[in-house]
A and B are shown apart, each in its own frame.
Chain A
Amino acid sequence: DIVMTQSPDSLAVSLGERATINCKSTLSVLYSSNNKNYLAWYRQKPGQPPKLLISWASIRESGVPDRFSGSGSGTDFTLTINNLQAEDVAVYYCQQYYTTPRITFGQGTRLEIK
């Protein structure tokens, strides 16, 4: 299995500032034939299911604010949230789908307001 490891486990950021969450995979999730990274980011608010934010490492889903951006390739990825808002408080997960349907998730990063 591809193991996904996020860092940090939790972070506190002031309103209006930038939050950065990292995700590392034990194997590359870059598929060479199409040059696509099979990496997604989800947000989960308390009591709610996960919501897909970003797929293919950097493609925002429809309706996701452009404050959210994804970057990285191969085994190292980053989710950046600019101009942090109160509604961004949540747990964020990275997920690889290189081995779909046997997908695996990172352990999650809890984002709070400082």
Chain B
Amino acid sequence: EVQLVESGGVLVQPGGSLRLSCAASESIFSSYSMSWVRQAPGKGLEWVSSITGSGVSTYYADSVKGRFIISRDNSRNTLFLQMNNLRAEDTAVYYCAKFSSFLPDVWGKGTTVTVSS
């Protein structure tokens, strides 16, 4: 089973930028659509963004559209999330997840993003 490891989460000031990474263990990474899902402290799960296996198509939640950019490097089996103009409400654990048959079936352990002055 593919393993996913997120990194890049830190404390950042409002208005700042951050790039998250998610490294996959398998070379067939390019076969799968991938997503970012976040969870604010003590809250539920919120889908953030998705990208197809080829990277051609991307999708965003309205809450992050225009501020976040999802991308992937299939040669490095890595998924990215560029986060710009960060707000306090972006504070969350960010999970990357592999899609199979239309839904996320494998999740990483998450990386924590804190937006605060």
- What residues of chain A have their CB less than 8 Å away from a CB belonging to chain B? 38, 40, 42, 48-52, 55, 61, 93, 95, 97, 100-108
Contact = CB atoms under 8 A, between A and B. Distances in A.
11 contacts: A38-B103, A49-B95, A51-B107, A93-B44, A95-B103, A100-B102, A101-B99, A102-B47, A102-B59, A103-B104, A106-B44
B89 interface: no
A51 B109 CA distance: 11
Given A40-B103, A49-B109, A93 B35 contact: no
B103 A52 contact: yes
Contacts of A38: 102-103
Interface in B41-73: 44-47, 50, 59, 61
Nearest to B35: A101
Given A50-B107, A52-B105, A55-B103, A101 B45 contact: no
Interface string B82-104: 00000000000001000101111
Interface of B: 33, 35, 44-47, 50, 59, 61, 95, 99, 101-105, 107-110
Determine the main DSSP class of B at the interface with A: strand
The listed residue with most A CB atoms (<10 A of its CB), out of B33, B104, B109, B110, is B104
Given A97-B103, A107-B44, 20 more contacts: A48-B109, A49-B107, A49-B109, A50-B95, A50-B107, A52-B103, A55-B103, A55-B105, A61-B105, A93-B45, A95-B45, A100-B102, A101-B33, A101-B102, A102-B50, A103-B35, A103-B47, A106-B44, A108-B44, A108-B45
Contacts of B101: 55
